[in-house]
Amino acid sequence: MTARATPTFLVQRAGERACFDHGWLQTCHSFSFADYHDPNNVNWGALRVLNDDVVQPGQGFPTHPHRDMEIVTYVLAGRLEHRDSTGSHGVVGPGGAQYMSAGTGVRHSEYNHSKTEPLHFLQMWVIPGKLGIAPAYGQVEFEERDRLNRWLTVASGRPAVDAPVRLTQDAAFYVTRLAQGRHLEHRFDPGRLGFAFVAEGAVRLGEERLASGDAARIAGLERLAVTGDDGLLVLWDVPPQ
């Protein structure tokens, strides 16, 4: 039997993130990214990036390269348009997810599909479980009921956890919208890490209240208890690196 470590619960408030206003893009980084580098905040286990981005109408990220990274983008509001060098093209709406395995290398662009409304999404990078594989792209849409007061498993590379988006890393990504006073829990296997981020509203993780933009880094915890305050919570269950 594997012994559990002493539980760790580290809260990062929204204002403690590295935030930048580029005019066309307002972005907040939970981890080191681009011009923001903190050697003590590079990753949390296999989770390497969580960016909270708002892109203005008709604007976006021009074509740029990636390799050896698994990228999951979860759309909060608006419509995200994607094109890449494999010929893949898609548009994802609110509550939908876009997945790209950069593999041996891919070039892609991401734009706000709307000319009138802003686009808000979370982009998350996971260190891959396999290197040297061919690039891949996919997208999936969900209904509000799929995540209302329940866990919606969006992506997984865990053998026992099914999801429409398959990762090569032994990680899983969940989303829930919890109404006022509703409860959920998530159980972690020994040695696993959790990263919980409040995208909208507020939730309580145990006794700690987290509001929009707040996050918690979790280690050595067997059971995470969540209470809703009309909050949208995303949760990663990842291995240590």
Residue at 152 is within a domain = yes
Q: What is the domain-level CATH number for residue 33?
A: 2.60.120.10
- DSSP state at residue 148: B
Residue 4: per-residue pLDDT: 57
Residue at 3 is within a domain = no
Low-confidence stretches of the chain (pLDDT beneath 70): 1-5
Residue at 8 is within a domain = no
Domain that holds residue 171: 13-238
Residue 2: per-residue pLDDT: 44
Residue at 179 is within a domain = yes
Query: Which neighbouring-strand residues pair with 122?
Result: 52, 74
Residue at 5 is within a domain = no
∠ CA 229-234-237, rounded to 5°: 130
Predicted confidence (pLDDT) per residue in 50-60, tens digit: 999 999 999 99
For residues 32 and 99, give the distance between their C-alpha atoms in angstroms, rounded to a whole number.
21
Residue at 151 is within a domain = yes
- DSSP state at residue 229: E
Residue 209: per-residue pLDDT: 97
Residue 5: per-residue pLDDT: 62
Residue 200: per-residue pLDDT: 97
How many separate domains does the chain show? Answer: 1
For residues 29 and 15, give the distance between their C-alpha atoms in angstroms, rounded to a whole number.
11
Predicted confidence (pLDDT) per residue in 137-166, tens digit: 889 999 999 999 999 999 999 999 999 999
Q: Are strands 119-126 and 215-219 parallel, antiparallel or unpaired?
A: unpaired
Sign of CA dihedral 135, 97, 108, 124: negative
**Is the separation of the CB atoms in 37 and 138 below 8 Å?**
no
**Is the separation of the CB atoms in 177 and 211 below 8 Å?**
no
